[in-house]
Amino acid sequence: MTWFKKGKKKDDSPKSEAVIRGLLIFADTSTVMHAEQILKEESYDIRVVSPPPQYRTGCDLCLEFPMVDAPEISKMLKEIGLAPIDVLPLSGNGMKPLQLYKTKDFGQYLMVRAANMKITVDKTTRRIVNISGGGCPDIPYLAHEMVGKLLSEAPEPSVIGFSVCAYSLNMAYEELKKLIGGE
């Protein structure tokens, strides 16, 4: 879905190196995942990072973005009910989610792992057969909602999940779809 047809693109020119970046802090991880999806669709140069220590509870994400876009982004997010609770200038580097994947081919089944989350699908039917790993309470809920369903019909972890574990599961889920095709 596209909210605003601005067509804003990443600035890859050398001067962009000097752009001051900031952090968007949200009330919960679910809002971060939703805002990330929308801002990426709008081609903002954002990335998910860990928040600064004063905002950490132990299960947190926030968005790093170019400060020059702060007014536009804040206005847009407010209009769609995803307003951040704070906007900070970036001081120090936040840690990035692990973007590495491990796959295991069991023959009929394929398992993809991102960080601590694993998802396994039956390659012939494209049905999700297991979800493993994680420590936040939405993970057993996600497993309950997704296991047994086709990749194309299962709810996405980024939509019904709330935790950083759900974020990792979503990465594994997206990678799995890339590998075998889930549509």
Partner 1 sequence: MLLLVGAIPIRDLPLLLGRISLSEQGVMVDGRALEIDRGTAAMITVVCTICQEFGLENPTALVAGDLGTRQGSMKIYDCLAENLSELDVSVLTFHYIMPDIEKNKKVLEKIDSLKKRPVLIADAGSMYVAKAGGDATRYDVFTPDLGETAYLADEKAPHPTYTRGFIFHLENDVPELIRRAYDSKNAARTLFVKGEVDYICQDGEILEKISEPDIEALEAIGGTGDLITGMISGLIYAGKSPIEACRIAGKANRRAGELSQPTPATQVKDIIKHIPAALREVLEQEG
Least separation in angstroms between residue 157's CB and partner 1 is: 10
Q: What are the start-end ranges of the E strands in the chain?
A: 21-25, 47-49, 62-66, 86-89, 101-105, 109-114, 117-122, 127-133
The residue (of 30 and 76) whose beta carbon lies closer to partner 1 is 30
The residue (of 69 and 163) whose beta carbon lies closer to partner 1 is 163
What per-residue string of b and e applies to 75-95 under the rule 16 or more CB within 10 Å gives b?
ebbeeeebbbeebbebeeebe
Least separation in angstroms between residue 72's CB and partner 1 is: 28
3-class state of residue 19 by DSSP = coil
Least separation in angstroms between residue 36's CB and partner 1 is: 13
User: What is the Cα–Cα distance from 13 to 162, expressed in whole angstroms?
Assistant: 36
Mind giving me the DSSP string for 109-158?
EEEEEETTEEEEEETTTTEEEEEEE--STHHHHHHHHHTTSBTTTSPPHH
Least separation in angstroms between residue 148's CB and partner 1 is: 9
Least separation in angstroms between residue 141's CB and partner 1 is: 3
The residue (of 49 and 73) whose beta carbon lies closer to partner 1 is 49
The residue (of 37 and 74) whose beta carbon lies closer to partner 1 is 37
The residue (of 77 and 117) whose beta carbon lies closer to partner 1 is 117
User: What is the Cα–Cα distance from 120 to 99, expressed in whole angstroms?
Assistant: 18
Residue matched to tokens 């095709």: 181
List residues binding partner 1 (CB under 8 A): 28-30, 50, 56-60, 95-100, 104, 106, 108-109, 111, 113, 115-118, 120, 122, 129-141, 143-144, 147, 161-168
